[in-house]
Structure 1
Amino acid sequence: MKRSFIILIAVMAISAKLFAQQTDEKLAPILTVPRSYTVLKTSQPLTIDGKNDDAAWAKAAWSEPFEDIEGKPEKKPATSTRFKLLWDNENLYVYCRFDEEHIWATLKEHDQSIFQDNALEMFIDPDGDTHNYMEFQINAFSAVWDLLLNKPPRNGGPSITDWDIKGLKKAVYIDGTLNNPSDKDKFWGIELAVPLRTFRFGGNSTMPKVGSTWKMNITRVQREVDIKEGAYVKRLGTNGRPMQPGYSCWSVPGIINFHYPERWGVVRFADENETNLQFLNEEGEKLKLSLWKYYYLQQDYKAKNGKYAPTLEMLKKDFPGVSFADSQLIKLVATDLQFVLQAESAKLKIAYSVDHESKFVSKMLP
């Protein structure tokens, strides 16, 4: 409950900042096409030991290097982070490498606030509707916090910490020494085997198959430390409290908030011989971004006016700094307290919608 309260307060503060006096320039960072990754199937066994030396991993492509959470070039992460993914009929396999000269951790118990240490955070939304998704955190002690959210905190979703990943296999390998400031380390590797049956929640009962796509992001929490009396201590800010961590990630949200599932990347499950690794359709992705733009504007409108705009024309009057050139693609149905935005592509034979609780739906057209 404490975690939910902290997240909710942070989301409210961030949203107030995000939605103040919207312009095209301010919206641009959260309206970029998310990254994509093709997950190859493997028939080879993997030993979960935190290393990247199984033959199967040689066939998996590295992700792009992680970037600053807001996508700001001047805030390029000081250390490199990348990952690989594989799958078989039982598990999703994850290998992530964190380059780091000083590897440390303090938390050892399950379901603690692992993000208080340097940590990997992973988010997975199997059906891509922004609701019913998993959050997973792990530190260098391989301590884990796994939780389920039925919708994003911005929409009032609680963190269900009693939920656990049954059958999870995990390992951390450290090229260096843990909690030893007297030397320089190289990296720590995180390897996971996440049972696919884990993702049977929120009405999602199907296992992935070749061609399935999931929304997913992998992120890194990195805290500054000092060395005092032979030990690592979190660096303090001018207020005497530990400084805020740096956040980097694979698919950049464009805002300091990992809980924007529409900003996560798209992973596609493929067979082991797949060679075409690019699969996102540019027209479809741009249409989705148009929907999300009007979703953000509707939330801003309600924050200022106490109700949602009944028409796109009302939104246009309220946001003179935003282009509405794509509004002819969008249909809005709204009351004071609810709305649905809809768009479709005859060329792609697909329709998209997003409602006031950010639930995203895609449906093939006849």
Structure 2
Amino acid sequence: MTKKNDPDGRPFHKVSAVFCYWLITGIFLIGIQSAVRAGVKTAAGDPHVDSVPENLPAGLFAQPKIYAAPRAQHAIKIDGRLEDPAWQAAKWSDLFSDIAGISKLKGIRIDQAADILATRVKMCWDAQFLYIAAELKDQDLWATLRKRDTIIYHNNDFEAFFTTGPDVSSYYELEINQLGTVLDLMMTRPYRNGGRAVIHWDLKGLQSAVQLHGTVNNPEDKDSSWTVEMAIPFSSVLSFGQRTPARGTYWRMNFSRVQWDLTTINKRYERKTIHGRRVAEHNWVWSPQGIVDMHAPDRWGYLFFTNDSTALPVLPFIEKQKAVLWKLYYLQKFQFARHQKYALTLRELGVTDNKAVLNENGQTERYTLHMNAGKNWFRVALVAENGDELLALDQNGLIRGERQN
């Protein structure tokens, strides 16, 4: 989708042009290696191998990060300063890293830690709101966009992506720049499955604020950072009848920072160009996606609603089960990108053994993988030893058999 008021005519929000190019170049073979990592024996190697060759995007199958958000004892005043005492109970996240994570993607710039401006987030919640705080180091504060729901990532920005439960079939996105200008949108499904951004939707009751530690749009001085606060009202994003998340439940969530290389022309900041072409933006995230696409919500981190943040929650076993199916999903997508049709059998995908093994608390769980497919559709399923189908995943990324929070 290209938004009409997008001056560059770029696909809306970096959808996945890089991802599609990557698939078409033949790296669909990653699926074979990913099946190996799931404990499924394939024609490519030993089922006990737990590594991916460097020329394949290993980051696609790295464990997403987990954050435990403590419950705030009182409502937080949203002013962008991050000085409310409630924030003291919330831990800072790891510093952001490149969106690709440990992947090595041919022809794609991947920033190393030393090249990334320090960025971190923290979260907490109460009966009404999810609170988000972010700190972004930056020596050159710059922003130009002032109209709500313009394409904010054309400036340096901070972005939040979230579901309201384990399901990743639909989600929300927020963007904010250093002037405090907001873009909020809803995705009824990801772009890769034909989704479109519902930009006219507004997150009713959203509170946001930015604090600048420096002077915006002044190349003649050096700045320090900018900070962001947000309060997302549960009443505007949860299903009818739901008032607040229960303790111990979780959402899928990720954060992104878009940063442009700047130059100074006539004492004004401009985005840097080389030989007339604009230098691509940097994409730094909390939980690496493994691919250059924020709109793969199955790759987002996990936000747990807790009473305190002293202990990291344990990832529910069902998420490990789903990961087995997601690896087959990507393998099928790579197959389709190369041959314009899905594989009809697991063997056609290179999977020669349809058994999967997972370990949980010292116990070994064994499963069988089933797949039904046609040229334009597929359905993969995880079946227990007693023959019961536990979970299924189709070509649209829809999970069946999953119980929500």
TM-score, length basis structure 1: 0.88
1:137-178 CA-to-partner distances (Å, cap 9, x unmatched) read 000000011111111111110111000111111110011111
1:120 has 2:158 as partner: yes
The aligned residue for residue 236 of structure 2 is 198
For the residues of structure 1 that align with 2:399 and 2:222, how far apart are their CA atoms? Answer: 46
Check conservation: 2:304, 2:313, Cα contact below 8 A: no
The aligned residue for residue 337 of structure 1 is 376
1:278-332 CA-to-partner distances (Å, cap 9, x unmatched) read 3215x65443332111101111222333332222111117xx9xx9874964221
Moved more, 298-307 or 4-13: 4-13
The aligned residue for residue 256 of structure 2 is 219
1:234 has 2:271 as partner: yes
Moved more, 48-57 or 75-84: 75-84
Structure-2 change in CA distance of 1:350 and 1:311 (3 Å): closer
For the residues of structure 2 that align with 1:362 and 1:37, how far apart are their CA atoms? Answer: 25
1:69 has 2:86 as partner: no
SS of equivalent residue, structure 1 residue 288: helix
Structure-2 change in CA distance of 1:350 and 1:164 (3 Å): farther
Check conservation: 1:7, 1:153, Cα contact below 8 A: no
Structure-2 change in CA distance of 1:262 and 1:192 (3 Å): same
Moved more, 89-98 or 207-216: 207-216
Check conservation: 2:159, 2:174, Cα contact below 8 A: yes
The aligned residue for residue 68 of structure 2 is 38
Structure-2 change in CA distance of 1:361 and 1:34 (3 Å): farther
Structure-2 change in CA distance of 1:350 and 1:208 (3 Å): farther
Q: CA deviation at 1:90?
A: 0.6
The counterpart of 1:262, out of the listed 274, 298, 320, is 298
The aligned residue for residue 359 of structure 1 is 398
Check conservation: 1:32, 1:289, Cα contact below 8 A: no
1:17-43 CA-to-partner distances (Å, cap 9, x unmatched) read 135242333242201110010111112
Structure-2 change in CA distance of 1:350 and 1:223 (3 Å): farther
Q: How does 1:1-366 map to 2 (within 5 A)?
A: 2-3=2-3, 6-7=11-12, 10-18=15-23, 20-21=26-27, 22-23=29-30, 24=33, 25=53, 26-72=56-102, 75-76=112-113, 77-200=115-238, 207-238=244-275, 240-271=276-307, 273=308, 275-281=310-316, 284-316=318-350, 326=356, 329-343=368-382, 351-361=390-400, 363=402
Q: Aligned letter for 1:6?
A: P
SS of equivalent residue, structure 2 residue 189: coil
Structure-2 change in CA distance of 1:351 and 1:206 (3 Å): farther
Structure-2 change in CA distance of 1:345 and 1:171 (3 Å): farther
For the residues of structure 2 that align with 1:166 and 1:116, how far apart are their CA atoms? Answer: 24
For the residues of structure 2 that align with 1:46 and 1:219, how far apart are their CA atoms? Answer: 23
Check conservation: 1:331, 1:343, Cα contact below 8 A: yes
Q: CA deviation at 1:14?
A: 1.9
Check conservation: 2:15, 2:295, Cα contact below 8 A: no
Check conservation: 1:44, 1:55, Cα contact below 8 A: no
Check conservation: 1:33, 1:285, Cα contact below 8 A: no
SS of equivalent residue, structure 1 residue 188: strand
1:76-128 CA-to-partner distances (Å, cap 9, x unmatched) read 24310000101111111000000010111000000000000000111011133
For the residues of structure 1 that align with 2:171 and 2:264, how far apart are their CA atoms? Answer: 38
